[in-house]
């Protein structure tokens, strides 16, 4: 059997030389990531600029390039884009609505045993709260290629969240993702699962399959565009459902779950269960798969959480129970 | 708590430690997730000199308020640090075999759960500020403790390093010692091709530091320099250690691709043979 798994960052990397060759106004800004080792930019080689290990400088430089009429693609790890260089992203890029493309690798837990300094579990919260930013999280290699192509003409900035190691393709048959529109992977009248990124979308699909065996019919949306959020699709697919469940590789605060909860809070009474990484820095050591499983981002855990949510009634505030991190409410 | 005294030269006394640290490093790079091979091998003599010849630390009292503090600002050299801590008695060498795997506490960047690790590092450009903070705390408390920070040369491209450099000199922190692992390489090439650092010694001097250079795989030279700070009262000290990335392994020494490796069984055997034969040298010479 051939291994169809492919890393989203590799799919992206393999396209970017072509993008640079095609459009003379594009620039590749690198920060010693190693992503482009062996890539031949050909006649566009002078538009590959490696600024070294200097993420803030890279973002500021990209903003200047964009203000000067170019479309820069900046490359760094997701957590360095969202945290190390955050102020340049906010003020220099987002404030000016400049067409800078931030391609962020090693997102979520994909850095595995590299540990919390390299995990990016805050980046969606940071990026999606910035005005003018478009936030895209491809769920597989083919989706990365399709979405990259559709973002090329965006007038404003883009945050493209990529992984590290190979991940499996989405099941064949789904229509290709369209920027700004949820990709409907499965429909079902009982529960709606909303997910983004490779592990979460596969966990959601697998959970829906497991729930079907129990007679619970779940729909699955691949919410690859986290901002702007496809609220019409969310409302249409959640109407009348007993539960909406978000799954993401992000701390439970502020990411896709936050976005979905915010949108649904304004529109109607539907319960939202947010699944993601606990409110803690990982202290366990393991590869990407092991960490995702540990934090419940796998089919069995997601299905189990949904079963108990459906049978037990209104949830407790999990973060507080899990970690004894109780705030006084008096 | 005292620096181990010896009649032997540092090189003769500590060479065995350095050799065993190298063996641990290659073994850890043969695990399923691989390891940062090159930048760990270039650190071996620097860490050996510090932990056996310079630092006032005691595995039996890792939180002694009068201890010296060590920070591996280039946190991706964690396996070299873990191996050194094991060799120095802070952790059981058997634990190293679990590096990076489920159930272990050894991540690819230093974690505080490991005895002897003061603070987590891994995002480059943080360690010098932390070291300055420890040095300032010791001074405010009137404690004898000194802070030692090891940085990569590529790491120096982070602007935060230079804020800390300026700040530590302004605070006249002469109990702060920084070492640059000057192996000339970063992930994507030579530092001088990517974003040039030279004239590096001069740059640090103009930032107010007392600067020396030493062959980075020569234990006598390293212990001599690092054991005699402050070199100028009122100034923090910076040692530029001239090293070779991947030192000890002739098939990767000085090569960009040594940065990260997952050694196969065959490569591990080859690495062990090279270390045993000493063909990769402690460095270039
Ligand atoms: C802020 C930050 N940016 C990027 C990285 C990814 N990274 C890890 S090691 C490395 C190269 C480091 O080069 P250098 O400091 O020279 O280390 P050495 O050659 O000793 O391995 C990079 C870019 C990081 N860990 N932290
Ligand atoms: Mg280097």
| Domain of residue B129, CATH code | 3.40.50.970
Residues 6+ apart with CB under 8 A from B168: B128, B131, B132, B135, B176, B209, B236
- Cα A50 to the center of its chain, rounded Å: 25
For A79, the 3-state DSSP assignment is helix
Helix/strand/coil percentages in chain B, nearest 5: 40, 15, 45
Q: Do domains A8-161 and A183-329 have the same CATH topology?
A: yes
Query: Is residue B4 domain-resident?
Result: no
- Using a CB–CB cutoff of 8 Å, tell me whether A178 touches chain B: no
Q: Cα dist. A237→A194, A201, A240 in Å?
A: 10, 16, 8
Residue of B187, B196, B256 to mutate for A, most A C-beta atoms under 10 A: B187
Q: Which two tokens stand for residue B168?
A: 């530590």
CATH-assigned architecture of domain A183-329: 3-Layer(aba) Sandwich (3.40)
Chain B residues within 8 A of A58 when measuring between CB atoms: none
Report CA(A60)–ligand 2 centroid distance (Å): 24
User: What local confidence, expressed as pLDDT, does residue A283 receive?
Assistant: 95
Task: Give B75's DSSP letter.
Answer: G
* Strand ranges (E), chain B: 69-72, 147-152, 176-182, 185-186, 189-190, 210-215, 237-242
For residue B60, count CB atoms less than 10 angstroms from its CB and return exposed for 0-12, middle for 13-18, buried for 19 or more.
Answer: exposed
Q: How many CB pairs under 8 A join A and B?
A: 88
- Under an 8 A CB cutoff, do A53 and B121 touch? no
- Using a CB–CB cutoff of 8 Å, tell me whether B248 touches chain A: no
Residue that wins the pLDDT comparison between A326 and B238:
B238
Q: What is the mean pLDDT of chain A?
A: 94
Pocket test for ligand 1, best of B47, B154, B183 (most atoms within 8 A of CB): B154
Instruction: Name the pLDDT band for A268 (thresholds 50, 70, 90).
Output: confident
How many other CB atoms are found less than 10 A from the CB of residue A322? 12
Q: Is B121 in the pocket of ligand 1 (CB under 6 A)?
A: no
Q: Is B186 in the pocket of ligand 1 (CB under 6 A)?
A: yes
Domain housing B220: 10-277
B236-266 residue pLDDT tens: 999 999 999 999 999 999 999 999 999 999 9
User: What local confidence, expressed as pLDDT, does residue A46 receive?
Assistant: 98
> For residue A220, what are the β-bridge partners?
A186, A193
For residue B170, count CB atoms less than 10 angstroms from its CB and return exposed for 0-12, middle for 13-18, buried for 19 or more.
Answer: exposed
Considering only the beta carbons, identify the residue of B108, B120, B187 that sits closest to A33.
B187
User: What local confidence, expressed as pLDDT, does residue B5 receive?
Assistant: 52
The span from the CA of A56 to the CA of A81, in Å, is: 8
Taking chain B (285 residues) in runs of 10, the rounded mean pLDDT of each run is 63 95 98 95 98 98 96 98 98 97 97 97 98 98 98 98 98 98 98 98 98 98 98 98 98 97 97 89 44
Instruction: Name the pLDDT band for A1 (thresholds 50, 70, 90).
Output: low
A15-31 residue pLDDT tens: 999 999 999 999 999 99
What residue spans define the domains of chain A? 8-161, 183-329
Q: Is B182 in the pocket of ligand 1 (CB under 6 A)?
A: no
- Using a CB–CB cutoff of 8 Å, tell me whether A112 touches chain B: yes
For strand A71-77 and strand A26-30, is the pairing parallel, antiparallel, or unpaired?
parallel
The candidate with the shortest Cα–Cα distance to B12, out of B282, B215, B285, B213, is B282
User: What local confidence, expressed as pLDDT, does residue B63 receive?
Assistant: 94
Chain A residues within 8 A of B117 when measuring between CB atoms: none
Pocket test for ligand 1, best of B34, B124, B200, B244 (most atoms within 8 A of CB): B124
Query: Is residue B117 domain-resident?
Result: yes
Element (H, E) at A306: helix A299-312
* The model scores a pTM over 0.90: yes
Ligand 1 atom, smallest distance to B181 CA = 20
A105-158 residue pLDDT tens: 999 999 999 999 999 999 999 999 999 999 999 999 999 999 999 999 999 999
- Distance from the Cα of B82 to chain A's closest Cα (Å) equals 14
Pick the CATH number of A8-161 from 3.40.30.20, 3.30.70.141, 3.40.50.970, 3.40.50.300: 3.40.50.970
Q: Based on the structure, what is the number of domains in chain B?
A: 1
Report CA(B44)–ligand 1 centroid distance (Å): 17
**Contacts of B273-276 spanning 24+ positions with Cβ under 8 A:** B274/B248, B274/B249, B274/B250, B275/B19, B275/B22, B275/B23, B275/B26, B275/B248, B275/B249
The least confident of A212-216, A310-314, B99-103, B186-190 is A310-314
Considering every ligand atom, which ligand is closest to the CA of B42? 1
Q: What ipTM was reported for this prediction?
A: 0.95
Q: Is B78 in the pocket of ligand 1 (CB under 6 A)?
A: no
């Amino acid at each position: 059997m051939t291994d169809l798994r492919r890393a989203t960052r590799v799919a992206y990397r393999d396209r970017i030389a072509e993008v640079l060759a095609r459009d003379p106004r594009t620039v590749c800004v690198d920060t010693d990531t190693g992503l482009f080792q062996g890539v031949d930019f050909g006649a566009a080689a002078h538009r590959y600029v490696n600024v070294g290990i200097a993420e803030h400088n890279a973002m500021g430089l990209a903003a200047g390039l964009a203000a000067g009429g170019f479309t820069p693609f900046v490359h760094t790890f997701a957590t360095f884009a969202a945290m190390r260089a955050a102020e340049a992203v906010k003020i220099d890029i987002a404030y000016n609505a400049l067409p800078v493309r931030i391609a962020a690798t090693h997102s979520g837990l994909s850095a595995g045993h590299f540990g919390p300094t390299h995990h990016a579990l805050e980046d969606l919260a940071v990026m999606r709260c910035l005005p003018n930013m478009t936030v895209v999280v491809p769920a597989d290699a083919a989706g990365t290629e399709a979405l990259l192509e559709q973002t090329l003409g965006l007038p404003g900035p883009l945050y493209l969240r990529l992984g590290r190691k190979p991940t499996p393709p989405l099941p064949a048959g789904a229509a290709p993702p369209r920027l700004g529109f949820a990709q409907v992977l499965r429909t079902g009248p009982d529960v709606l699962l909303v997910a983004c990124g490779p592990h979460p979308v596969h966990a959601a699909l697998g959970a829906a399959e497991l729930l079907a065996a129990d007679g619970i019919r779940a729909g699955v949306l691949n919410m690859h565009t986290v901002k702007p959020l496809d609220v019409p699709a969310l409302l249409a697919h959640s109407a009348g459902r007993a539960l909406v469940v978000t799954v993401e590789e992000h701390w439970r605060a502020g990411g896709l779950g936050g976005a979905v909860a915010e949108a649904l809070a304004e529109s109607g009474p539907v319960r939202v269960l947010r699944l993601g990484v606990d409110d803690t820095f990982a202290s366990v050591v393991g590869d990407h798969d092991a960490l995702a499983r540990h934090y419940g981002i796998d089919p069995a855990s997601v299905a189990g959480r949904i079963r108990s949510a459906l049978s037990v009634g209104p949830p407790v505030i999990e973060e507080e129970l899990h970690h004894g991190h109780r705030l006084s409410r008096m | 708590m005292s620096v181990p005294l010896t009649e032997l030269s540092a090189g003769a006394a500590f060479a065995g430690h350095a050799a065993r640290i190298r063996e641990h490093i290659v073994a850890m790079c043969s695990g399923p997730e691989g390891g940062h091979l090159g930048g760990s091998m270039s650190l071996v003599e620097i860490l050996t000199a510090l932990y056996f010849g310079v630092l006032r630390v005691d595995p039996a009292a890792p939180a002694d308020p009068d201890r010296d503090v060590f920070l591996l600002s280039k946190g991706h050299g964690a396996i070299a640090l873990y191996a050194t801590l094991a060799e120095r008695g802070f952790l059981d060498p058997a634990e190293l075999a679990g590096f990076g795997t489920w159930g272990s506490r050894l991540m690819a960047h230093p974690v505080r759960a490991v005895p002897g690790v003061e603070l987590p590092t891994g995002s480059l450009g943080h360690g010098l500020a932390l070291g300055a903070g420890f040095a300032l705390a010791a001074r405010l408390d009137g404690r004898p403790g000194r802070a030692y920070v090891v940085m990569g040369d590529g790491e120096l491209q982070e602007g935060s390093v230079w804020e800390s450099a300026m700040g530590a000199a302004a605070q006249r922190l002469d109990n702060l010692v920084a070492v640059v692992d000057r192996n000339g390489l970063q992930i994507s090439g030579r530092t001088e091709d990517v974003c040039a650092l030279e004239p590096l010694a001069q740059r640090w001097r103009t930032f107010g530091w007392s600067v020396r250079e030493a062959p980075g795989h020569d234990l006598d030279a390293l212990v001599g320099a690092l054991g005699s700070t402050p070199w100028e009262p009122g100034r923090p000290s910076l040692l530029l250690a001239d090293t070779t990335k991947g030192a000890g392994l002739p098939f990767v020494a000085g090569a960009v691709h040594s940065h990260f490796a997952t050694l196969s069984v065959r490569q591990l055997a080859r690495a062990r043979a090279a270390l045993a034969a000493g063909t990769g040298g402690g460095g270039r010479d």
